[in-house]
Amino acid sequence: MIARFEPGAEQPADVEQFFEVELAASAHDEPQAPPPTLAAVTGRLTNPQREHWEVSFWTADDGAGRMTGTGALIRLGEQNPHFAVVDVTVHPEHRRRGTGTALLRHIAAEAAEAGARLAASSTACRPSAASPATSIPASASSS
């Protein structure tokens, strides 16, 4: 299930699960990099705004309430109203099951509904699997 994640309204255990997904993905995908800290992830969730940016967060769960993926939609404001950045992270133990695809489709549909026509996607993956910018199909808003 994909759900909007409102950091200020969530319980500490939900923020902890969000962090656990990001920590596990970081350890798997970038083992040489310093791991994220709970404080850094909490700070990004509670104060994501950059001047003129709009950021919203999403999560996926396994149906039993365990978070399996996270996502963010970053809209760059009035200067670039037709462009968005979509960031998706899936816990390594839950990959290849459609979680990332479901998050990406859901967030891309939200971006299209908000007027974005071009999105750059970012996923937690090995560096060689970078995603290019891609046009948002008209059907994304009707999914």
Structural domains counted in the chain: 1
Q: Taking residues 99-120, report their average pLDDT.
A: 92
Q: What percent of the chain has pLDDT over 90?
A: 59
How does the average pLDDT of the chain come out, rounded? Answer: 84
Tokens 């908000």 locate to 114
H helix or E strand, kind and range, residue 115: none
Instruction: List C-alpha distances in Å: 38 to 31, 43, 83, 92, 138.
Output: 17, 8, 30, 18, 38
Q: Distance between CA 126 and CA 108 in Å, rounded?
A: 22
pLDDT in tens, 48-84: 666 778 899 999 999 998 999 999 999 887 778 899 9
Q: Which of 108, 119, 118, 116 is nearest to 143 (CA)?
A: 108
- CATH code of the domain containing 56: 3.40.630.30
Q: Taking residues 90-111, report their average pLDDT.
A: 94
At 80 the pLDDT is 84
Q: Taking residues 22-43, report their average pLDDT.
A: 94
| Pair of tokens at residue 1 | 């299930």
Domain that holds residue 44: 2-142
Is residue 118 scored above 60 in pLDDT? yes
pTM: 0.81
